[in-house]
Amino acid sequence: MPGVEDLVRKNSFVTQGLLSTSDPRSAFLFPESSIGGTSIPGDDQVFVFQYWPETIEDSYSPTYGDRQIPGGSHPLYQWTGGSGRDITFTATFTAEVDVGVTRGAFGTRNPAITELTPSARYTVDVRAALNRLRSLMLPDYNGTGSNINTLASPPKKFYLVLQGSRLGGNKDYILCILRSAPITYQASFPNGTPRMAEVSLTCTEIVQQTSTAGSSSIRFIGRGPFEKDGAFYSYRGTVDRF
């Protein structure tokens, strides 16, 4: 049964035409619901960011309760848990030509138009990218509209993959939910189609993993994987490890 590692290996180099084989670094995400089938999901379920983020902020804080001691110079601190982990970065999307130009019935898009650009990497459907990210914050009402009496499914959980980062200690991915994604439209084509936009993403790591039976399985995260990878650190250089 394919798992997260299978998807990471499959999409490490060439996905959706945005990465060349000479550029293995990639940042992408895919929904948790795509894991667990009998075959590796296709590229249509994987969202590849057009550019590697310029900066990435990774924040985590343990939570301590403090107890004041009369006459003591310091309080006593008792560890109570963790306050959560946020990964924050800005995703940029650009288009040199309007790939939303349509032809034929039902607004069929013309992929050949991107051949007019110096590099296809610099032209994506910015509007579609923004809506794809926005969808990760919204629930689903089973196709019955937004009636409050219908059964709502929560927003999708997804794996955030930052290739080569060891984001999860011994792996390059973590399970997240999208908590915030404000969009800044920086430029548009004459017809109003977005040409350049930035999205400030705040991805919060979660420990509620969905089991194959559909129930929630809580898996807390310990320090073990981070200690093992951290053991390779040497202040005099990596050559000292060999």
Which tens digit of pLDDT belongs to each residue from 112-133?
555 555 556 678 889 999 999 9
Task: In whole angstroms, give the CA distance from residue 89 to residue 105.
Answer: 38
8 vs 176 pLDDT, higher one:
176
Range with top average pLDDT, 8-17, 77-86, 118-127: 77-86
Question: What is the maximum alpha-carbon separation in the chain?
Answer: 81
pLDDT recorded at residue 58? 97
CA 193 to chain centre: 24
Question: What is the reported pLDDT for 164?
Answer: 84
| pLDDT on residue 217 | 86
Please report, to the nearest 10 degrees, the dihedral formed by the alpha carbons of residues 189, 90, 209, 171 taken in order: 120
Q: Which residue has the higher pLDDT, 89 or 50?
A: 89
Residue bearing the bigger pLDDT, 162 or 109: 162
Whole-number Å distance between alpha carbons of 67 and 17: 57
In the numeric block, which tokens belong to residue 63?
């939570």
Name which residue leads in pLDDT, 117 or 6: 6
Is 62 strand, coil or helix?
Answer: strand
Least confident of 64-68, 143-147, 173-177: 143-147
Is the model's pLDDT at 149 over the cut of 80?
A: no
The pairing of strands 76-94 and 194-205 is: antiparallel
In this prediction, residues 49-78 reach a mean pLDDT of: 94
Spatial separation of the C-alpha atoms in residues 217 and 44, rounded to whole Å = 27
Q: Give the whole-angstrom CA distance, residue 121 versus residue 17.
A: 8
Q: What confidence score (pLDDT) does residue 140 get? A: 85
Closest by Cα among 174, 175, 196 to 129? 196
CB 99 within 8 A of CB 125: yes
CA distances from 157 to 91, 95, 167, 205 (A): 19, 28, 17, 10
pLDDT tens readout for residues 150-185:
677 889 999 998 888 899 998 889 999 999 999 999
Q: If you search the block for the tokens 């032209």, which residue do you land on?
A: 123
Pairing assessment for the beta strands 102-103 and 27-31 based on DSSP bridges = unpaired
- pLDDT above 90 coverage of the chain, percent: 42
Selection from 207, 225, 220, 201 nearest residue 86 by Cα:
201
Count of Cβ atoms closer than 10 Å to residue 47 Cβ: 19
Evaluate if residue 21 carries a pLDDT over 70: no
Using DSSP bridges, classify how beta strands 56-67 and 47-48 pair: parallel, antiparallel or unpaired: unpaired
Cα–Cα–Cα angle for 62, 64, 66, rounded to 5 degrees: 160
